[in-house]
Amino acid sequence: MRQPLVVGNWKMNGTRTSARDLAAAIAGGLPANCPVAVGVCPSFVFIPAVAEQLQDTPVQVGAQNVADQDAGAFTGEVSAPMLKEFGCTLAIVGHSERRLIYGEGDALVAARYQKAIEHGICPLLCIGETLEQREAGETFAVVDRQLQAVLDVAGIDSLKQAVIAYEPVWAIGTGRTATPQQAQEVHAHIRRQLAAQGEEIAAQVRILYGGSVNADNAASLFAMADIDGGLIGGASLKADSFLSIVKAAAQTV
Ligand X SMILES: O=C[C@H](O)COP(=O)(O)O
Annotated binding site for substrate: 9-11, 173, 212, 233-234
Annotated active-site residue 189? The verdict is: no
Contact characters 183-212, ligand X, x per CB under 6 A = ---------------------------xxx
CA distance 240 to 61: 19
Minimum distance of ligand X from residue 33's CB (angstroms) = 27
Residue 169 binds ligand X, judged by CB under 6 A: no
- Interface pick for ligand X out of 167, 217, 228, 241 (rule CB under 6 A): 167
Contact characters 219-248, ligand X, x per CB under 6 A = ------------xxxxx-------------
- Interface pick for ligand X out of 172, 194, 207, 245 (rule CB under 6 A): 172
Cβ count within 10 A of residue 40: 28
Which residue, 90, 112, 92, is CA-closest to 38?
A: 90
Residue 66 or 202 with smaller CB distance to ligand X? 66
114 contacts 154 by C-beta, under 8 angstroms: yes
Annotated active-site residue 167? The verdict is: yes
CA distance 246 to 168: 21
Residue ranges in 5-138 assigned as alpha helix (H): 16-29, 47-54, 80-85, 96-101, 106-118, 131-135
Radius of gyration in angstroms for the set of CA atoms belonging to the chain, rounded to a whole number: 17
Which residues of this chain interact with ligand X, rule CB under 6 A? 9, 95, 167, 172-173, 210-213, 231-235
